[in-house]
A and B are shown apart, each in its own frame.
Chain A
Amino acid sequence: MSDYLLEVRNVSKSFPGVKALDDVSLFVKPNEIVGLVGENGAGKSTLLKILIGAYHPDEGQVLIRDKPVEIRSVKEAEEHGLAMVFQEQSLLPNLTVRENIFLANEEQFIRYGVINWKKMDQEARRQLAKVELDIDPASYTSDLTFATRQMVELARAMSLEDRTQYQPIVILDEPTTVLEKAEKELLFERVRALKDRASIVFVSHHLDEILELTDRVYVFKDGRKVAERATSETNVGELHRLMVGREIKGEYYRQGKQIEAGEEIVLQVKNLNQSGKFKDINFELHKGEIIGIAGVLGSGREEVCRTIAGVDKPESGTIQINGTTLHLGSPSAAINAGIGYVPQDRGGEGLVLYLSLGPNITLPDMSQVMRSGLVNLKAERQLAERWIDRMKIKTPGADALCLNLSGGNQQKVVLSKWLATKVKVFVLDHPTRGIDVGAKEEVYELIRELAKQGIAFLLIADTLEETIGLSNIIITMKDGEITRRMESPPDNKPSPVDVIEGMM
């Protein structure tokens, strides 16, 4: 009998075009808080999905209390004493707290088919007390703040210890992403308090949090486990190096291909205001220039980008494209003016996943393939093939649905779609999120290539390194205002510390 509660042995998992997990092993001991760190795409979420039964590993084994297990659903994971607090929150907003805590586990309150609400209420209070949350179990979850809902999820996870008689293994997936500082502290306090009755797997890419909370930490990179450290024996610097390592080798962001911006102003933003979101935003973007906006969540950078793309309408201010004032708050006006918006959510906003490449590419401007008022399918196909060729899109064929492409290739379709409309300015919101390293490099290559052709970029990058590496100019934002503007020439890139200063 080993002293491991959970053990992952040599697990691998591939998706078309990506090896998401490559021979990964790790273990969790009872009453231990284990950290998982890694950049986006490092394989953390794939591993978590295997643990809750959403994916099945191609190779390797998962053992719980020394027994090999086949987990096929969340329910089965829970039967083994394993619960997950989801990043995107999994509570049902139209149900009450108590109903959520015991959703799909009402047996204990049912007699002759009838739910005993009073008993459920008491039991819910007991579970909430574990996380020291004093709320009415009959309140609706939609009325709770995000942080409180998270506590409710934690309580739901802890209810496993009564249901299974095992010590629960609770996985917290990026739980701090949208928490305020005080809420974060509170969460940490509660998690620490739970340590003597549960094991915790804490997933984050905030290294300081990992160091603060965990006992041991695993570092993931590109689908592999690259290191395991006792938290007391490591530091932010080392973890960071292990996590992103490669970025140190100079040409990752194709800095050598960074060009001097042109004279011509393509995009001019003047006094843009939106109360509660951003204030007095002024900047100009030149031909072939890449401006990266750095800022934490809530800095207002996403909102500025959405406003420029016409998705949101500002209260005041003007935007000019090549000297012509843009009609604000209208995506179609922005498109006609030459702005191409690549949203963060590729599947939701960037692409119609159930359409093939051609229709996706021609969606913003169908006139490219219209012949006497009808869609010319042959022309559309040819157009798709030209873009597949030019952007090196890896696809089984022009007829393949975008659903079946890998993340990197989907992103290329999104870019093609805008390039086909003769775009002048690209607004890129996390263009490399969730795509693997090779595909990232191809996207960087493409951005450089397009900049050379004179297209200007406004960029919200996935990491700070990416912002610094890709940009000609870095603008930092904090609480809705621009705090700094720094040059970022290829031979003299600012250090992350300089940029962070502007963000904090």
Chain B
Amino acid sequence: MASIPEGMSAGKSSLRSLRIPPLVGPILILIFLILLVTLINPRFLSSANVANLLRQSSILLIVAIGETYIIMMGSIDLSIEGVMALTSVIIGIFAENYFNNNDLGLIAVLLAVLIGVAMGFLNGVVHTKLRIPSFMATLGMMYVGLGLATWISNGMNLPILDPMILSWARGNTGPIPNLTFFGLAMFLIAFFLERYTRFGRYVKAIGGAEDRAKLAGVPIDKYKILAFTLAGFFVGVGGVLNSARIGAGAANSGLNYLFAAITAVVVGGTALTGGTGGVLQTLIGAMIVIVIGNGMVLAGVHSFVQLAVQGVIITVAVILTIDRSKLPFVK
């Protein structure tokens, strides 16, 4: 094998190391933000606030994980708030609650998550089989979810009384909020799926170049549907936990999660064009989004201005990720 001429060997390792830094950037930004906010308001690192940060970022992380797969695939899922709304109302009706005599406990949770799975599955089927762009298919699903949730709940909050479900979001184990464990578990599952299964491989392949993946024999539609279904699962879990956190099933419980989730994915370094990134990036991205939000509250920034700042962040993040993702793609 000595006959390989120069230029025939694999690229220099320095080239390859370019692939890792996309994670380094967001981590440095996260550290910088933590230092900055701490300087502005030292209460940021108080145990109460840290616990609060963990709670918020756990739910966002779970929701954003699902979106990560979709964006890696080069598609988009806009149905998040609709899915969260419907799962929230379902849990509000079937778990022990203030309005009726239902007390299905874990079965209610299962039902709610299954609704999320079903909505995700439908997203995938409509997108692939009817050949509707994912943007449109999932936008439609968002309003289906919001509409049904509002109709079922009559637009009211449905207070949840089930102590087990409430404890998931409100309780602590030692000093650590229980939600953290949910977030961590979901993250590990997602990371494993991405790294060690065919699913993870194909999602990346489809996002890299769908036509080539198809030529290689990847069953594109099947894996797209699977990705949307999994996204529905994660968003469903996020919807249940979020309902537990606010203590009620409500049609508006997913408000602002769509934007925050996409921001988390993109800020972490998953390019909207697909093919790069992953849930590890999203983990960092979700923490950045939460730290900025929390930091602005602590700094006394008006809530409307906070929204504007988020808008600026995602725009900047898109610019950065597109630049970064171009590096490994020398086509």
Seen from chain A, the residues whose Cβ lies within 8 Å of a Cβ on chain B are 73-75, 78, 86, 90-95, 97, 99-100, 103-106, 110, 113-115, 117, 129, 132-136, 139-140, 142-145, 147-148, 151, 182-183, 186
A142 touches B328 (CB 8 A): yes
B10 touches A95 (CB 8 A): no
A142 touches B330 (CB 8 A): yes
**CB within 8 Å for A136 and B330 given contacts A103-B213, A182-B5, A186-B5:** no
Q: Residue-by-residue, is B276-316 near A (CB-CB < 8 Å gives 1, otherwise 0)?
A: 10000000000000000000000000000000000000000
**CB within 8 Å for A145 and B7 given contacts A94-B276, A132-B1:** yes
Q: A86–B12 Cα gap in the complex (Å)?
A: 26
Q: Which residues from A are CB-within-8-Å of B11?
A: 139-140, 143-144
- Chain A nearest CB from B80 CB (Å) reads 25
Closest residue on chain B to residue A105 by CB atoms: B217
Q: A93-B330, A148-B10 provided; 6 other pairs, C-beta below 8 A?
A: A91-B212, A94-B204, A103-B218, A134-B4, A139-B16, A143-B328
Among the stretches B86-94, B169-177, B195-203, the one at the interface with A is: B195-203
Q: Residue-by-residue, is B186-221 near A (CB-CB < 8 Å gives 1, otherwise 0)?
A: 000000000011100110110111001111111100
Q: A142–B327 Cα gap in the complex (Å)?
A: 10
A-B contact pairs, 27 of them (CB 8 A): A74-B214, A91-B212, A92-B205, A92-B209, A92-B216, A93-B208, A93-B209, A93-B328, A93-B329, A93-B330, A94-B275, A95-B201, A103-B218, A104-B216, A105-B217, A113-B197, A132-B4, A140-B16, A140-B19, A142-B331, A144-B10, A147-B8, A148-B8, A148-B10, A151-B8, A183-B7, A186-B8
- Chain B nearest CB from A127 CB (Å) reads 14
Q: Residue-by-residue, is B218-247 near A (CB-CB < 8 Å gives 1, otherwise 0)?
A: 110000000000000000000000000000
Q: Which residues from B are CB-within-8-Å of A140?
A: 11, 16, 19, 328
Chain B stretch 1-40: residues in CB contact (< 8 A) with chain A: 1, 3-5, 7-12, 15-16, 19
- Chain A nearest CB from B330 CB (Å) reads 5
Residue tally, chain B, CB below 8 Å to A: 37
Closest residue on chain B to residue A115 by CB atoms: B196
- Chain B nearest CB from A386 CB (Å) reads 37
B213 touches A92 (CB 8 A): yes
| 8 Å CB contact of B201 from A73, A74, A91, A103 | A103
Q: Residue-by-residue, is B317-331 near A (CB-CB < 8 Å gives 1, otherwise 0)?
A: 000000000001111
| 8 Å CB contact of A115 from B5, B198, B208, B218 | B198
Q: Which residues from B are CB-within-8-Å of A135?
A: 9-10
Give the 9 A-B residue pairs with the shortest CB-CB distance, closest first: A143-B11, A75-B217, A104-B217, A94-B208, A135-B10, A134-B1, A139-B10, A103-B216, A92-B208
Q: Which residues from B are CB-within-8-Å of A73?
A: 217
Closest residue on chain A to residue B276 by CB atoms: A94
- Chain B nearest CB from A65 CB (Å) reads 21
Q: Which residues from B are CB-within-8-Å of A182?
A: 5
Q: A143–B204 Cα gap in the complex (Å)?
A: 17
Chain B stretch 99-128: residues in CB contact (< 8 A) with chain A: none
**CB within 8 Å for A103 and B217 given contacts A93-B209, A94-B328, A148-B10:** yes
Q: Which residues from B are CB-within-8-Å of A151?
A: 8
- Chain B nearest CB from A195 CB (Å) reads 18
Q: Which residues from A are CB-within-8-Å of B205?
A: 92, 94-95, 99, 103
- Chain A nearest CB from B16 CB (Å) reads 6
* Chain B interface mostly: loop
Closest residue on chain B to residue A137 by CB atoms: B10
B328 touches A183 (CB 8 A): no
**CB within 8 Å for A90 and B10 given contacts A103-B217, A106-B198:** no
**CB within 8 Å for A110 and B328 given contacts A94-B204, A94-B275:** no
Q: Which residues from A are CB-within-8-Å of B7?
A: 145, 147-148, 183
Q: Which residues from B are CB-within-8-Å of A93?
A: 208-209, 328-331
B15 touches A143 (CB 8 A): yes
A90 touches B216 (CB 8 A): yes
Q: A86–B216 Cα gap in the complex (Å)?
A: 11
Q: Which residues from A are CB-within-8-Å of B217?
A: 73-75, 78, 103-105
Q: A73–B220 Cα gap in the complex (Å)?
A: 13
Q: A74–B212 Cα gap in the complex (Å)?
A: 11
**CB within 8 Å for A74 and B215 given contacts A93-B329, A139-B10, A143-B16:** yes
Q: A92–B72 Cα gap in the complex (Å)?
A: 14
- Chain B nearest CB from A298 CB (Å) reads 15
Q: A270–B15 Cα gap in the complex (Å)?
A: 39
Q: Which residues from B are CB-within-8-Å of A104?
A: 202, 213, 216-219
Q: A115–B10 Cα gap in the complex (Å)?
A: 24
A94 touches B213 (CB 8 A): no
- Chain B nearest CB from A267 CB (Å) reads 33
B212 touches A115 (CB 8 A): no
B328 touches A134 (CB 8 A): no
- Chain A nearest CB from B319 CB (Å) reads 20
- Chain A nearest CB from B272 CB (Å) reads 14
Q: A100–B8 Cα gap in the complex (Å)?
A: 17
* Residue of A90, A134, A136, A143 contacting most chain B CB atoms (<10 Å): A143
Q: A379–B201 Cα gap in the complex (Å)?
A: 52
Q: A427–B295 Cα gap in the complex (Å)?
A: 58
- Chain A nearest CB from B81 CB (Å) reads 30
Closest residue on chain B to residue A189 by CB atoms: B3
Q: A114–B198 Cα gap in the complex (Å)?
A: 8
* Residue of B204, B215, B328 contacting most chain A CB atoms (<10 Å): B215
B215 touches A86 (CB 8 A): yes
- Chain A nearest CB from B73 CB (Å) reads 12
- Chain B nearest CB from A104 CB (Å) reads 4
| 8 Å CB contact of B8 from A78, A136, A145 | A145
- Chain B nearest CB from A422 CB (Å) reads 37
Q: A182–B3 Cα gap in the complex (Å)?
A: 11
- Chain A nearest CB from B18 CB (Å) reads 9
Closest residue on chain B to residue A180 by CB atoms: B7
Q: A129–B19 Cα gap in the complex (Å)?
A: 26
A115 touches B201 (CB 8 A): yes
Q: A117–B195 Cα gap in the complex (Å)?
A: 10
- Chain A nearest CB from B325 CB (Å) reads 9
- Chain B nearest CB from A149 CB (Å) reads 10
* Residue of A86, A94, A110, A148 contacting most chain B CB atoms (<10 Å): A94
Q: A129–B214 Cα gap in the complex (Å)?
A: 26
- Chain A nearest CB from B284 CB (Å) reads 20
- Chain A nearest CB from B202 CB (Å) reads 8
Q: A113–B201 Cα gap in the complex (Å)?
A: 12
Q: Which residues from A are CB-within-8-Å of B216?
A: 74, 90, 92, 100, 103-104
- Chain A nearest CB from B209 CB (Å) reads 6
Q: Which residues from A are CB-within-8-Å of B204?
A: 92, 94-95
Q: Which residues from B are CB-within-8-Å of A147?
A: 7-8
**CB within 8 Å for A90 and B19 given contacts A78-B217, A136-B10:** no
Q: Which residues from A are CB-within-8-Å of B202?
A: 104
